Structure 1
Amino acid sequence: MLVAFSLTPMGVEAGVADYIADAVKIIRESGLPNRSDSMYTMIEGEWDEVMNVIKQATDAVTPKAPRVQLIIKADLWPDMPNPLDGKIGFLEQRIADVASASPTELS
């Protein structure tokens, strides 16, 4: 299971790094494969363990802001090994296949 989620403290100043730093620390220390970018954090694992980490991360933010918005998007692809990197590898292979195909193969 691969989950992308975002925690957004509401009713605080524009910069939220101070509000979510503890949440990111919890995610990184969870031992689950994860990656954060400027909009989302992705975490890979079994349902219960992923949701537990998301709950812990959310609980770290809620005392610091008057309101917290949580957005979760989950990809349940049982046959995809290591979805955090596997999905990107799958895409990159398809791009390479298209790039190496002759123009007649593409039509």
Structure 2
Amino acid sequence: MLVAFSVAPSGEGPLGSDNADASVHDAVAAAVRIVRESGLPNHTDSMFTTIEGEWNEVFDVIRRATEAVGQFGSRVSLVLKADIRPGHTGELTGKLERLEKALGE
């Protein structure tokens, strides 16, 4: 399965934190670090992180990433989109390869 997710803190952050520009890059970095350390295939762009694997392992990583972001605010927003296709692997790149081939035809 592929799961694209976006996670961000909101509300008050840790005591003494300075977030004058409303940036969430430190919180997002904490989440992405967990994803990358998981060893599962993944890709991060400006809006989402996509991770590929089996149901339990993917959602465990997303849970841990969400908990890490929770350290940066009193609330957490989590958006998910999943492509559940049993028996298929390598779709993180495979879907793009098929798209590029179709565009080239």
TM-score (ref. length: structure 2)? 0.85
Partner of 1:22 in structure 2?
30
Cross-structure match for 1:70:
78
Query: Which residue pairs with 1:50 in the alignment?
Result: 58
**CA offsets, 1:52-101, max 9 Å, x none?**
0000001111122011100010001235431100000111111111xxxx
Aligned to 1:102: none
Query: How many angstroms apart in 1 are the aligned matches of 2:77 and 2:33?
Result: 19
The runs of 5 or more residues in structure 2 that have no matched partner are 13-18
CA RMSD of aligned residues (A): 1.3
Aligned identity (percent) is: 53
Higher-Rg structure is 1
1:7 aligned to 2:15? Answer: no
Runs of 5+ unmatched residues, structure 1: 98-107
Of 9-18 and 63-72, deviating more is: 9-18
Look up the match of 1:61: 69
The structure whose RCO (Cα within 8 Å, separation 6+) is larger is 2
Instruction: Name the structure with the higher helix share.
Output: 1
Contact 1:20 1:61 in 2 (8 A): yes
Which AA in structure 1 matches 2:76? V
